[in-house]
Chain A
Amino acid sequence: MGSLIILIGAGLLVPLFFKGHMIIAKYIAAAAFAAAAFNVYMGNGIDLPYFVLTPDTQLMEIVVLIVLAATMMTFSGFERPLIPQTLFVGAASLAILETNNFLMYIVLFEVIAIISYVLAANIRSKLNAEGAIKMFIAGATASGFILLGFAMFSMITPTFNYSEISVHGNFALVAFGIMLAGIFYKMTVVPMHGWAADTYAQVNHAAAAILSATIKVVIAVATFKAFYLFMAAYPTTTVWLFGFFAIITMTLGNFMALFQKKIAKILSFSSIAHAGYMLLPFAAVASMYSYTGLIYLGIAYVFMQTSVFLILNDLRREAHIKTLEDIKGLYKKSPLHALFFTIQLLSLAGIPLLAGFISKAVAFYAGVDAGLWPLILIAALNSALSLGYYLWVIKHIYFDEPVAGTHAKITMTPGSLVGQLILLAGTIYFGIFAAPVFSTTLGL
């Protein structure tokens, strides 16, 4: 309970300091994240019925809190309304990761959805509003599906406990299918991805960082836990359902990203493609490594994706960099931004010794272990294809000369530097040391 109170309390407290002393608000938020992470580290979960803290959830929660803290540090003055939202996202993430009750899962899912609407709509500009409305309409539709499915499901199940829910019978199958349709909206699975490509590119990039990284990963992990029994009961259906959506999601995401001119769009489609990779462990649920793969993929992805969107946020704020044309010669304008961006992009592309590679390797291995090697071959070829557009961005950063008449120098604020260093440390740490993830998720 402690972590939740700290995070929500700090979230309610910080707006008092918005006028004049924003730095105090940031310190309070940072302290709240640190206290919550420490509390989780000490093994203190939300001590209520329907919530349990297991070692794997513990790791995931600490990662989420660290990433959110790093995100919060990079905020500049006009992004201050996002600080409390970040804290609330943290609290909701802890709750949904710890729950073992299906009703709680649905409720918290909606809570996260509402926080994310506010998050998207916080900064006032026309473009931002357009993105937020798109997200709201898509999200409301998705909620409708989820509630319909859940209502059907609640008719047949005697209990909502994850390990005892009733998953047998055609009625349950239909109910889960309808719920998945809604959840796929949130996870930006093709063909329910249309809103994401626009929203991530249009709303403030700091909000997009939280939406496309933290929230997506938390939902994916929570969904895996909630649907585990269902997936285990219908192995063939699971493979075909998740395998099919995984492939079309990653393929379409990667191909669309190849044709984009705006960097934010490239990152959005890359995020959609990663949703496809995240479905692979679902399809490979028969393997003992599937949950490890999903957690690892989530941890790696949350560091990388947050970092790239925050760098883009910096660049857009300081120098109005939006397209590939604008980013030419970035290494001369701001070597630090260029370096961070390059490393995180290489990690997203799956270059080794960075978290992106080893996490994909584990998730892919889960697929091979479950006997789905053709699926994994397609996924790995997709990952190779994605290198095309990541390298294309890097090419513009390092191998092209800056366009005349643009900003000559871009500075990095201290807060941004600290935030990026934390995210980079995460990417490199989890790229070399795989033992923590394995030992917590395999129960060793």
Chain B
Amino acid sequence: MMSVELIFGPMLLAPFVYFISRGAEWVAKWVALTLFIGLLAISVDMYQALPADGGFLFLGEFLRVPGFDFALTLQVDALSVIMLILTAALSILVVFSSWNEKHQGAYFSLLIFFAGPIFGVFMTTNLLWFFIFWELVLVPMLFLVGYWGGERRVYAIIKYFLYAHFGSVFMFIGFFLIYQQTGHWDFMTVKEAMIVTPALIWWFMFVGFAVEMPLFPFHTWLPDAHVEAPGSISVLLAGILLKMGAYGLIRFVIEMMPVESRHFAIYIVIIGLATTLFAGLLAIYEKHIKKIVAYSSISHMGLVAVAIATVSYDGLSAALYEMIGHAIVISPLFIIAGWLHHKTHTWYVDEMGGIMQKAPYVSAIFVLAGMAALGLPGTMGFVGELTIIVSAIKEFGPWIAVIAIGSLIAAGYVIWAVRRALHAEMSPVVAKSHFDMGGFEFMALVIFAFFIILFGVYPQPIFDMANSAFKMFGGM
């Protein structure tokens, strides 16, 4: 089975693609598409090859450093393979949705480069290599947003970069303290060797992942970064980078330090609740359509944090379902919001209105995804929120049902935004704009819509995956 090639292959391929595509720019997107389809196939193949008892599939060990226990150990379990599948699948849709992007050679080369470290993040169990890939992910993002983004793109991306970097400093020190205590860099051996974890390490790691997720009060980078990023890059940010934070929280905080995590669970719950409610209220107040979506995204990640805090089989499965649901639901909203701005040259829902009449199909998908975001039964959002609330009540008692207010707030901002932007009287801005969309972009949206409904009425496949991912927390 391929292992280290999946990480360094794309990173080496990217410069070649860039130079080849200088003459013929269309080459780059086809290479990217082929690569991501290949990665998806390999990830699915890996899922089939996982050991039946829910343990890790060992893929190899490279670059061993004597005297430091530092080696690129590649192992995957169900959780990481699910993230790999999600990453590869979303990347394909990102290629579709940015089919007509300008400066394609550089753009798609960066996307190809991006695939390397992100696969590394999910494949390695070595703490220091995990950190290496974690940081490296930021570099292609810097250029993708900094060059192709909106007017305040440089401010937004540098803010994001510095936030992520400052957050990861704490995580970095946390990893060092773990190594100092146990003498191991590898997740598996650390878990065995670490008997008591000082609270300090736990908090350092938690802060590192909380910035990336992002959780209140570290969330302020997200609205800026999402608003300034091009629509398809917002998909990468929301669909993959935020998941990276949640994945890290599950793997390196909950799984590695379950005892301490149970001890501090209440703090995660409070932070998660604050995130959900605060971001939801901000979304109601907001008129900027992409910021509404961005706050909705933060609000959902708060739910994921609450689900993770249960440290139970039910809760973690619900969190995994919601993570995938969030990726599939929020992505089309971001793409459509970016597209609307591109067509109408305004960001504000007040100035839109009547879009439903001019672009009915895209608007219908927007409404569908919006309904999923507020948790309408029959969509992915409903299953995610229901399972999270149920598992949280089971763990923390009935008071946690206040989280359902988050759903209520979501109904507020989604329905109000849909009313103002799509249904109200046609505004002059909309009347003079042309709402055409390329075939590939539209196809990406249709695929998202299909999965929103499919997994909404038939969530079993994802829960099957979650079942194998969280066996050690006791399953059905």
Contacts and interface: CB of A to CB of B under 8 A. Distances in A.
Interface of A: 289, 346, 351-353, 357-358, 361-362, 364-365, 368-369, 373, 376-377, 380-381, 383-384, 387-388, 391-392, 394-395, 398-399, 432-435, 438-439, 442, 444
B128 A368 contact: no
Interface stretch (B130-138, B281-289, B364-372): B130-138
Interface stretch (B43-51, B84-92, B146-154): B146-154
A357 B65 CA distance: 16
A444 B169 contact: no
Interface string B452-468: 00000000000000000
B169 A381 contact: yes
A109 B433 CA distance: 73
Contacts of B135: 351-352, 357
Contacts of B66: 435, 438-439, 442, 444
B179 interface: yes
Interface in B33-64: 63-64
Contact of A361 (B128, B146, B158, B161): B128
B70 interface: yes
Interface of B: 63-68, 70, 128, 131-133, 135-136, 138-139, 142-143, 146-147, 153-154, 158, 161-162, 165-166, 169-170, 172-173, 176-177, 179-180
A221 to B, nearest CB: 19
A298 B172 CA distance: 21
Contacts of B132: 352-353, 357-358
Nearest to A339: B15
Contacts of A361: 128, 172
Nearest to B11: A353
B63 A351 contact: no
A289 B179 CA distance: 13
Main SS class of interface, A: helix
A376 B166 contact: no
A387 B163 CA distance: 11
B63 A433 contact: yes
A439 B162 contact: no
Given A387-B161, A388-B162, A398-B147, 15 more contacts: A351-B136, A357-B135, A358-B132, A365-B179, A368-B177, A368-B179, A373-B173, A376-B173, A380-B172, A384-B166, A384-B169, A387-B162, A391-B158, A391-B162, A392-B158
Nearest to A376: B173
B65 A391 contact: no
A442 B70 CA distance: 14
Nearest to A289: B68
Give the top 4 A-B pairs by smallest Cβ distance, nearest first: A352-B132, A368-B176, A380-B169, A442-B67
B255 to A, nearest CB: 23
Contact of B139 (A351, A438, A444): A351
A399 B146 contact: yes
A278 B39 CA distance: 42
A345 to B, nearest CB: 11
19 contacts: A289-B68, A352-B131, A352-B135, A352-B136, A353-B132, A357-B132, A364-B172, A365-B176, A368-B173, A376-B173, A387-B161, A388-B158, A391-B161, A394-B142, A395-B158, A438-B65, A438-B66, A438-B68, A439-B66
A383 B169 contact: yes
A434 B173 contact: no
A382 to B, nearest CB: 9
Given A376-B176, A377-B169, A435-B64, A398 B146 contact: yes
Given A398-B146, A442-B67, A352 B173 contact: no
Contacts of A384: 162, 165-166, 169
A346 B258 CA distance: 36
Contacts of A394: 142
A381 B169 CA distance: 6
B67 A381 contact: no
Contacts of B70: 434
Contacts of B172: 361, 364, 380
A251 to B, nearest CB: 15
A311 to B, nearest CB: 19
B103 to A, nearest CB: 12
A188 B161 CA distance: 29
Contacts of B128: 361
B180 to A, nearest CB: 5
B173 A377 contact: yes
A369 B180 contact: yes
Contacts of B68: 289, 362, 434, 438
Contacts of A388: 158, 162
Nearest to A400: B154
B153 A399 contact: yes
Contacts of B65: 434-435, 438
A399 B154 contact: yes
A25 B91 CA distance: 53
B464 to A, nearest CB: 35
Contacts of B170: 377
B10 to A, nearest CB: 13
Contact of B176 (A364, A387, A398): A364
Contacts of A353: 132, 136
B8 to A, nearest CB: 9
A444 B180 CA distance: 20
B67 A391 contact: no
